[in-house]
Amino acid sequence: MQTFLSCDIAKSAVFSRIMLNKIFGFLTLGFYRFWGKTHLRRMIWQSVSINGDRLTYHGTAKELFIGFLIAMLLLAVLFGVVGVALQFMVYASPQLMGIDQVFNIMFLAAFWQFARYRLWRYRLSRTSYRTVRFFQKGRALVYSAKTMLWSVISLLTLGWAYPKLRAVQADYQINNMAFGDKVFEFRGEVTSFFRIYLPLILFWNSVILVGVFLYFNTGIFATMIDASQGLQPENPNVILYSMGFYLLIAIIATILFIAARVKEFNYTVDQTRFFGARFASRLPIVEVFKIGLLAGFVNVLFFAAVGFVIYTGIAGNNEAMTFALFPLFIVYFILFDIIKYLYLFIPMLKLICRSVAVDKVGVLAEVAASAHEAPTYGEGLADALDVGAF
């Protein structure tokens, strides 16, 4: 096994590209995004080399734009109808608020998965290595249906079916991924996914159990609800302890989740075959946490700075606050993406490049081009739904 990926992206170039994209995007009410994304992707794709040869991004702004137009027509009708129907339900009968949200989330989730698959299809088919293109075969609708089915089952089983969902997704995605005329093969087993996610499932189940126990045996939830309605609880410390408890749960859940995702990534790569070659991934959990913490820290720092400005400068002055919020929103709009790219996305990309290995380095240089048809238009649905927003 030896590493075969490398990434030599210049952060300064990414920084100026994002700035340009944001400025032009702002001036054109968002319509520059097709061009901006294309420029940025070309940079990122070309920064990744496989065994010394760079990837090429072939997508064009034109394709993204046409994809957007199609999505616009489709969604204007679809979301026009569904959105109005659901909004209407709420206006007509506020007691149905919860149900309409469930429908809305289900509908959006199914559509999101559909768009995600189309996005992979577009991006892979616009990626070439040594003049040969990648592909994503299969059907977005099937992927979306499988995902929705197992998501619902996961919810009903309190997460015990979640590993199956992840296995089904990886199976469908990877077994439909191709480079040239050769298809990738995924050999992962549900049991391994189950082992990876077991700590997370056990944790959530115990949280639920504790919650149920507290609900039936103490008045803590009633106290919380009273407090949220402005009533003074008998024991104010209960609220404080509860908030601390929730924060602790959130932190543990996040740590367990990220750890599971990293293990899952390693396992998925390990179980992937291509044309007789085996892959391996040793993505280190600690390094991933470091990147996450730094990105989170930079983000928090920025928020703290903004909070400080608001607190000292314009606290109590509603009018000034309203005027200040707009420029702050724009700064946030620009900075959030910059932090995301420079501190999260690029370091992760580099880490992955260092961690993934293959046993036959030259295997990707021995493949014939495929006659498989690539999609004609860009990822319009994904764009409209903000799936993978770069």
Q: List residues binding another protein (CB under 8 A).
A: 13, 29-30, 33, 42-43, 46, 54, 56-57, 60, 62, 65-66, 68-69, 71-73, 75-76, 79-80, 83-84, 87-88, 90-94, 108, 128-132, 180, 364-369, 383-386
What is the spatial distance between Cα 55 and Cα 46, in angstroms, rounded to a whole number?
5
The closest alpha carbon to 326, from 24, 18, 26, belongs to 26
**Nearest distance, CB of residue 362 and another protein, angstroms:** 10
Cβ atoms of 224 and 218 closer than 8 Å:
no
Closer by beta carbon to another protein, 46 or else 192: 46
**Nearest distance, CB of residue 329 and another protein, angstroms:** 10
What is the spatial distance between Cα 207 and Cα 187, in angstroms, rounded to a whole number?
33
Q: Residue 307 corresponds to which tokens in the numbers above?
A: 């909070």
Closer by beta carbon to another protein, 82 or else 253: 82
Measured in degrees and rounded to the nearest 5, phi and psi for residue 125 equal -70, -15
**Nearest distance, CB of residue 58 and another protein, angstroms:** 9
**Nearest distance, CB of residue 380 and another protein, angstroms:** 10
Instruction: Check residue 131 and report its DSSP letter.
Output: T
Closer by beta carbon to another protein, 92 or else 286: 92
The closest alpha carbon to 328, from 350, 348, 347, 311, belongs to 311
Closer by beta carbon to another protein, 98 or else 286: 98
Sign of CA dihedral 100, 103, 109, 114: negative
What is the spatial distance between Cα 17 and Cα 45, in angstroms, rounded to a whole number?
14
Which residue has tokens 């085996």?
278
**Nearest distance, CB of residue 82 and another protein, angstroms:** 8
Closer by beta carbon to another protein, 99 or else 210: 99
**Nearest distance, CB of residue 177 and another protein, angstroms:** 16
Closer by beta carbon to another protein, 49 or else 299: 49
